[in-house]
Amino acid sequence: MESIRIAENIVQMTQEGQLMPTCLTALTGPDGLLLVDTGQRVGEEELRTAVANLGFEVPAFIINTHASLGNVGGNGAFGASPTILAHRGTRELMRGDSHLLAELPSEALPDIEIDGPMTLHFNGEEIRIVPMPGSHTPTDMIVHFVHAGVACVGDIYPGRFFPFSGLGGKAYEFPRVLREVAELLPAGTKLLYGHQPGPGSVDDFAEIIEMAEETIPSIRAGVEAGKDRQTLLDEGLPERWKHLDRPGASARGWIFYLFNDLSAPQPEQPSVLRPLYEAWKKDGTGEAIAAKFESLVAEGLDVDPAYERDLLRLGYWLLREQASPADAVAVFTLWGERYPESWNAFDSLAEGYVGLGKKELAIANYRKSLELNPDNENGKTELGKLGVEV
Ligand SMILES: [Zn+2]
């Protein structure tokens, strides 16, 4: 991990990620080590190395700025001994479906959950921890090192790009929360952001607040006029905000979150993720997942379109994180059988066959996917890579 010294006793450490880096913070001193956020589960080893490079074996405290998987993923890297502190609701979210496939150990769960501001005295520093929930997630907090004049704001301000929401956060709350944070912190406080290395200041907020206050009313007006999500995505945002666009934090994402948050609440979608995951846990094969799905259907489960999302998640988890294309193919095959009109099922199945080195089957399934959806650009690109002209 790259590190930057922010103050005499504060170091920012940056973990590279698929779409964007994640920034963690360490406060060091005679009392020990305090970490703000722990990054991705897959980064546990490099986190332990980074902590060792700071001269420590385990942190005394871990504070999570919020419950996102990319921020709490390494909470269990040091076993049970660190005291983990987070906003109320973090434990529940970490035990929910959003975090299920990360397979976090119970030691990763916060020991202390707070509802209101608190102060921690550690290493001679006065650490103000202030819940500021609502925009990025319902669990956001800022961690203010008062003497050093440094504050971690997590993903309340992830960096100089379009903000994003998850786990029940509402994108339209960003301007309100950013203003509250700016009011709370003394002038000149150095800010540390969730996904952009290097210190910033509350002056950075102005641009995002302006963007949000211009675009929220226009998306709201679109929603109220009955426009659907695709129409709003196609309309896009004014050209002047283009520089805030980047992978994982795009204008499209911003429209997407706002559309969902401003539309009438949808009924909660049914999920079979947990029973299917538990079937995998028992014997570790994709066939077990497929068999469990079939047995649920035999017991009367409706083949609801919502379950496609669960099959997609499990299949890609097997393909990428478990590095097991054969098991992914078993799940994607079931998906295609149960949802024969789903172009995405056959596109995914083809990707599984690419992983298995079964070129002919990959080609056949990409073709099938393109028959169902001639606009599937990924399918065209992948067929091209397999030497097939489309
Ligand atoms: Zn986050």
DSSP one-letter string for 116-157? S-EEEEETTEEEEEEE--SSS-TT-EEEEETTTTEEEEETTS
Token pair of 238, please?
Answer: 């004014």
Confidence of residue 234 (pLDDT cuts 50, 70, 90): very high
How far apart are the CA of 194 and the centre of ligand 1, in A? 7
Residue-wise pLDDT for 248-276, tens only, equals: 999 999 999 999 999 988 888 889 999 99
- pLDDT (0 to 100) of residue 389: 83
Domain 2-205 has CATH 3.40.50.970: no
How far apart are the CA of 382 and the centre of ligand 1, in A? 31
How far apart are the CA of 291 and the centre of ligand 1, in A? 35
Q: Which residues contact 39 (CB under 8 A, 6 or more apart)?
A: 15, 22, 24, 47, 70, 71, 73, 74
Nearest C-alpha neighbor of 103 from the set 328, 284, 340: 284
- pLDDT (0 to 100) of residue 18: 82
How far apart are the CA of 67 and the centre of ligand 1, in A? 7
Q: In the predicted model, what is the mean pLDDT of residues 338-348? A: 97
How far apart are the CA of 158 and the centre of ligand 1, in A? 8
Residue 277 neighbours by CB distance under 10 Å: 19
CATH number of 273-385: 1.25.40.10
> CA angle, corner 254, sides to 372 and 179, nearest 5?
165
Nearest C-alpha neighbor of 352 from the set 283, 292, 290, 268: 290
How far apart are the CA of 68 and the centre of ligand 1, in A? 5
Residue 218 neighbours by CB distance under 10 Å: 15
- Cα atoms in the Cβ-side hemisphere of radius 13 Å centred on 121: 1
How far is Cα 72 from Cα 137, in angstroms, rounded to an integer? Answer: 13
- Does residue 376 surpass a pLDDT of 80? yes
- Does residue 390 surpass a pLDDT of 90? no
- pLDDT (0 to 100) of residue 81: 96
Residue 74 · residue 105 · CB < 8 Å: no
Cα 23 to chain centroid distance, Å, stands at 14
For 124, counting Cβ atoms within 10 Å of its Cβ (0-12 exposed, 13-18 middle, 19+ buried), the class is exposed
Rounded to whole angstroms, what are the CA distances from 210 to 162, 178, 205, 225?
12, 11, 9, 23
- Does residue 200 surpass a pLDDT of 80? yes
How far apart are the CA of 322 and the centre of ligand 1, in A? 24
State which H helix or E strand residue 228 sits in: none
Residue 157 · residue 127 · CB < 8 Å: no
Q: What mean pLDDT is reported for the chain?
A: 96
Is 4 strand, coil or helix? Answer: strand
